[in-house]
Structure formats: structure tokens, C-alpha cells
């Protein structure tokens, strides 16, 4: 199984379509995350008013469509390996157990999809973290829910609010690692449910 994993990972990394999708998604997600940052610097604390008054529906529809297409985009680079090995499956099953073969395919599909989504999101996340000044605009995201002076209400319903005020980058990293663990748990549950049926 480890030999199959090595072979498939080598194939996926050296595929042109994988690299094209990786570069394209990185550019697209970075552009989406950095597009509105000029509003932050020009409008100051009122830069989020376009979310409520006069929202840009084309941009919202594009972001929603991209969100729903992510599973297809992520699996796309590795999808043709099943077609390429269709005529060789009988030969492969003489060398490798059928279960190990499919487990290695699922694992490589997960790894390639994870890399294809993780690297662009990480780069766009870091680009946005570098561009935004969190110390001067620290309460703009929460200003529609409560008054900026009412820290007691914010402290009650915003998780780690004091950490967000004092160390915004640590706050972002904490939630970033939390989401990674949630994704890992969900993927493991999905794989084990597949084999328990």
C-alpha cells in the first residue's frame, strides 16, 4: 500500500493539471480576499456598509458558486487516474490486495484535494493578514452587532474576545488549527463509514 501511495503521490505532484489548478486557485482566492482591502484603507471603519446597503450580488453569486464547486475542483486533478488504470486493474490486483488499492486511492485523492485547497487558502489568508491592520480595525467586523464600547456583551458571545483584541494573529492561528482538526476528523469519519458498510 505504501508503494501505491508513493507512486500515486508522485504522479499527482508531477501532473500539469494539478499545478495549473493549484496556481489558478491561488491567484483566484488571493484576488478575492484582497479585492476589498482598498475599501478598508479608503473608507476606514465604514468599509463594511456595502454588505448591508447595496450589496454586490454578482460577486456574492460568484463566491457562492465557487463554494459549491470546491468539491469538484478539488477532485478533478486525480479523477482521470481511474480511467487510466481501467485496463490494468486485473494486473494490479495480482500484486496488491483490492482493499489496499482502494484505500491508497482514497488517501491520495484526499491528500491531493487537501493540498489543492489548503495551499491557495493559506496563501490568500497570509496575504490578507499582511494587508489588513488588525490593531486599528479590530472591531469593524463586530460593529453591526453591538456598540464598540460595550465590551461586556462582546465578551459573552464572542469566543476568545480578549485574545482577539490583544493578539489578533494568534486568534486567527488558533481558529485555523481548529478548522484543520475538524477537517481531519470529518475525513476520518467519512473513510471509516465507507468501510463499515
Of 36-45, 111-120, 131-140, give the range with the top mean pLDDT: 111-120
Residue 184 pLDDT more than 50?
Answer: yes
Judge residue 81's burial from the number of C-beta atoms within 10 Å of its C-beta, 0-12 exposed, 13-18 middle, 19 or more buried.
middle
Residue 138 pLDDT more than 50?
Answer: no
Instruction: Name, in order, each residue with C-beta under 8 angstroms of 103's C-beta and a sequence gap of 6 or more.
Output: 1
Whether the CA torsion 129, 134, 140, 145 is positive or negative: it is positive
Any idea which of 29-33, 178-182, 187-191 has the lowest mean pLDDT? Answer: 187-191
Contact predicate 105/8, CB 8 Å: yes
Over the range 103-116, which residues count as b (16 or more CB within 10 Å of their CB) and which as e? bbbebbbbbbbebb
Q: What pTM did the predictor assign? A: 0.61
> Which tens digits make up the pLDDT trace of 28-72?
888 877 776 655 556 555 544 444 445 566 667 777 777 788 777
Contact predicate 164/138, CB 8 Å: yes
Amino acid at each position: 500500500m505504501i508503494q501505491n501511495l508513493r507512486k500515486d503521490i508522485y504522479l499527482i505532484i508531477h501532473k500539469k493539471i494539478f499545478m495549473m489548478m493549484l496556481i489558478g486557485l491561488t491567484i483566484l482566492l488571493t484576488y478575492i480576499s484582497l479585492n476589498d482591502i482598498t475599501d478598508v484603507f479608503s473608507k476606514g471603519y465604514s468599509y463594511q456598509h456595502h454588505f448591508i446597503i447595496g450589496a454586490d450580488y454578482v460577486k456574492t453569486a460568484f463566491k457562492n458558486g465557487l463554494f459549491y464547486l470546491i468539491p469538484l475542483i478539488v477532485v478533478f486533478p486525480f479523477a482521470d487516474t481511474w480511467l487510466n488504470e481501467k485496463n490494468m486493474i486485473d494486473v494490479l490486483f495480482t500484486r496488491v490486495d483490492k482493499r489496499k488499492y482502494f484505500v491508497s486511492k482514497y488517501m491520495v485523492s484526499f491528500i491531493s484535494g487537501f493540498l489543492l485547497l489548503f495551499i491557495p487558502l493559506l496563501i490568500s489568508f497570509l496575504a490578507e493578514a499582511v494587508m489588513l491592520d488588525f490593531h486599528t480595525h479590530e472591531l469593524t467586523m463586530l460593529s453591526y452587532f453591538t456598540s464598540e464600547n460595550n465590551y461586556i456583551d462582546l465578551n459573552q458571545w464572542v469566543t476568545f474576545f480578549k485574545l482577539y483584541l490583544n493578539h489578533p494573529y494568534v486568534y486567527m492561528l488558533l481558529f485555523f488549527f481548529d478548522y484543520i482538526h475538524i477537517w481531519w476528523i470529518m475525513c476520518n469519519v467519512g473513510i471509516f463509514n465507507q468501510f463499515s458498510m
